Structure 1
Amino acid sequence: MEDLSSHKVETGQYQQVKGISIYYGLLPAQIAAKHPATHEERIMHGGVPPGKNAYHLIVALYDVSGKRITDAEISATVGEFGMAGTRKILEPMQIGETKSFGNYFLLRRSGLYRIAIEVHRLGKQKTEAFEALFDYRLQ
């Protein structure tokens, strides 16, 4: 991993690192739970966790030309600011014609959360790895 001592932390939902545009969304998991039982969004990532504290983290990556990147391994660590977080692999998600990455995380109370998204690019002569840091405020 690169030295993160001078790494910029974003409070928005977009960041560009090493020419890669990283977008994320964090939605209540209850939205996916409203789909029919056989709907792909309802069964992905092992199923929608019960309870109001579950959130679905979705990440999309684009290269400098604006083409969506689908050949990456992505993980995320989500936790309350200043506390250890939970690290999970973000699984590939095919929704319609687009491919993103995601997984469910528990956000138990209102406050500031740190989201660290780690990306490993595949299919290159040398594997590229980098991290993007975001701060997210849960109301």
Structure 2
Amino acid sequence: MRYRSFWRQALAAVGLAGMLFAPVTANAGVIDGSQSAGGLTVYLGVVPAAVVKGHPTGHPEAEMHGGTPASSHSMHITAAVFEKASGARIKDANVTAHILEPGGIQRSVRLQPMTVAGALTFGGYTTFARGINYRIGIIVDRPPHMLPSQSKQAPHAMHRKPPVTVHFTYTHD
């Protein structure tokens, strides 16, 4: 009888350890976090603002975007933008996250340039309610740039690329 009791306890312990250490599979996060359009590739990340809040005072990430918000549903949205053909990181753009909730509720968050580990990314804070599928459009608007002149007498022409929007789905669980 003691033999059976030992094995029951051992199996229960193994089962509990498996539940504690097994990867959690929840329907949360960014679905397909890389999208391409208009010659750009955008990578989207959404992490709890509390992750950023954990940095020590004086750390550059602790103060970015005016400091971390206090809400338990605050999230930090980040977008890394690259030229699709060359893989070059886009550093001079205005980037906005346009967020659409079910029921037609919309808001926009300007994503500010930020450098983390030497790489420029764009980020900002917003809040997401739990259990809702959000549609996030990342809009990348690059400034006009000079085109090379065809002749020495012709003035340089300015070329403006149209804004590029890529769409993602996000669920906050």
Q: Which stretches of structure 1, 4 residues or longer, exceed 6 Å deviation after superposition?
A: none
Contact 2:134 2:169 in 1 (8 A): yes
Q: Which residues of structure 2 form unaligned runs of 5+? A: 1-29, 146-158
Task: Give the Cα separation in 1 of the matches to 2:40 and 2:103.
Answer: 27
Aligned identity (percent) is 32
Match runs of 1:1-139 below 5 Å: 11-63=31-83, 64-124=85-145, 125-139=159-173
1:108 offset after TM fit, Å? 2.0
More strand by share: 1
Which residue identity lines up with residue 172 of structure 2 in the other structure? Answer: L
Q: 1:83 to 1:114 in 2, by over 3 A?
A: same
Which residue identity lines up with residue 44 of structure 2 in the other structure? Answer: Y
| Structure 2 counterpart of 1:6 | none
TM normalised by structure 2 equals 0.70
TM normalised by structure 1 equals 0.86
Aligned length: 130
Task: Give the Cα separation in 2 of the matches to 1:131 and 1:105.
Answer: 19
Structure with the larger RCO, 1 or 2 (CA within 8 Å, 6+ apart): 1
More helix by share: 2
RMSD: 1.5
Q: Mark the structure with the bigger radius of gyration.
A: 2
